[in-house]
Amino acid sequence: MRRVFRLLAAAIIASGVTGCTSVSYYAQSLEGHVEIMAARKNVRKLIRDPSTPQALRAKLTSASAIRRFATDEVALPENSSYRSYVDIGRDAVTFAVFAAPQFSLTPITWCFPVFGCVPYRGYFSRKSAAESAAELQRQGLDVYVSGVTAYSTLGWFSDPLLSTMLRQDDTYLASLIFHELAHQKIYVNGDSSFNEAFAVSVETTGVRKWLRATGNRAGLRRYEANRKRSADFLGLIAKTRDELRQVFGSPRSPQQMAAAKAATIDRLRMRYRRMRDTRWAGYRGYDAWFDSPINNAKLAATAVYGEQVPAFLRLFDLCSGDYPRFYAAVRRIGNLPGPSRAQALKTAAACD
């Protein structure tokens, strides 16, 4: 536990030169993270404990098997992460606040010790996140707040399983474990799009491999259907972002640009409804996303997690599904200068 305090206290001290707001931000991070670390319980002991509720025991048993699979079959780190459990008593462990200018799709970034620059600020308190969002809105920015189910300390600490990770089926649990461990495997400071797309590619290929290994054919069919819908959804977002770039790059007045932006977002909702009712046969899993406000910050946050995933999956295929070779190739690309990194990933013709 002393290590937790040393690292995060150092982050607070390092941030002191930027003013009281930064100190306050790091202080809430310290308090929230330490609270979680202090509440950890060993998974194996919980499974053996007769007082552990049967539903929780079953989930933790599945999580333990998935954790072993992550190391043995997906070549992810062998460490103490996801071998403890914390019931956090709320629907999200943190709340991520994204912001972007009214007429730009480039998100605002914040830079932190250890983790580098990222396009969001994370809060352990919903109230603190809402206050931060309100302040950014007062600055004229588009803002989006999203609840987060799990987060990674990039291997600095032994990340626990959280109650928020266990609320859906085992496929969802596997996707989270693979995703968060992927961040421990490779992380490029200051390139969230690269990091998140890499983690999604590991998550996707890992879940497919796990479902096949466990003989869960029905689960695999559901997963592939969900992945296809996700690709359709990201395609809609990409098309809208392209249209908005044209709007924002045009010689219009602010009033005309705002009207064109609103019309473009209206078209996005119309396209979604048409796709939902025809191609998806009425599947409504994305209704909540489209029913809530859509702005540049929300579109930017969605793009961070999806734009480069196809390129990573193509590279995985070029590596013949060999995880060590894939990770070596990703690491080589990740070591390239920022401007050439995405292009090298997109145009890679071989694994080695």
How many domains does the chain contain in total? 1
Short-list 267, 292, 287, 266, CA closest to 276: 287
Between CA 298 and CA 289 the distance in angstroms is 10
Helices (H) and strands (E) in the chain, counts: 14, 8
User: Does residue 224 sit within a domain?
Assistant: no
Between CA 15 and CA 24 the distance in angstroms is 10
Between CA 43 and CA 319 the distance in angstroms is 35
pLDDT at 179: 96
User: Does residue 5 sit within a domain?
Assistant: yes
16-75: pLDDT as tens digits? 334 445 667 777 877 888 899 999 999 999 999 999 999 999 999 999 999 999 999 999
User: Does residue 18 sit within a domain?
Assistant: yes
DSSP 91: S
Between CA 80 and CA 297 the distance in angstroms is 35
Between CA 297 and CA 320 the distance in angstroms is 36
User: Does residue 1 sit within a domain?
Assistant: yes
User: Does residue 13 sit within a domain?
Assistant: yes
Q: Which domain holds residue 7?
A: 1-38
Joined together, the tokens standing for residue 2 give: 């002393």
Burial 263-281 (b: 16+ CB within 10 A, else e): ebbeebeeebeebbeeebe
Short-list 109, 181, 103, 168, CA closest to 142: 103
Between CA 9 and CA 13 the distance in angstroms is 6
Task: State residue 89 phi and psi, 5-degree precision.
Answer: 70, 20
* H helix intervals, 249-291: 254-277, 287-291
User: Does residue 233 sit within a domain?
Assistant: no
> pTM for this one?
0.90
Per-residue pLDDT of the chain (352 residues; tens, 9 = 90+): 333 333 444 444 333 334 445 667 777 877 888 899 999 999 999 999 999 999 999 999 999 999 999 999 999 999 999 999 999 999 999 999 999 999 999 999 988 776 778 889 989 999 999 999 999 999 999 999 999 999 888 888 899 999 999 999 999 999 999 999 999 999 998 888 899 999 999 999 999 999 999 999 999 999 999 999 999 999 999 999 999 999 999 999 999 999 999 999 999 999 999 999 999 999 999 999 999 999 999 999 998 777 789 999 999 999 999 999 999 999 999 999 988 898 999 999 889 8
Q: Are 23 and 12 in contact (CB under 8 A)?
A: yes
Q: Are 142 and 299 in contact (CB under 8 A)?
A: no
Short-list 60, 33, 66, 316, CA closest to 154: 33
Order of strands across the sheet with 84-86? 41-42, 84-86, 161-162
Between CA 160 and CA 169 the distance in angstroms is 18
Between CA 228 and CA 217 the distance in angstroms is 16
Q: Are 22 and 32 in contact (CB under 8 A)?
A: no
User: Does residue 24 sit within a domain?
Assistant: yes
Between CA 55 and CA 182 the distance in angstroms is 28
Radius of gyration of the chain from Cα atoms? Answer: 21
Between CA 155 and CA 180 the distance in angstroms is 10
252-266: pLDDT as tens digits? 999 999 999 999 999
Between CA 267 and CA 244 the distance in angstroms is 11
User: Does residue 31 sit within a domain?
Assistant: yes
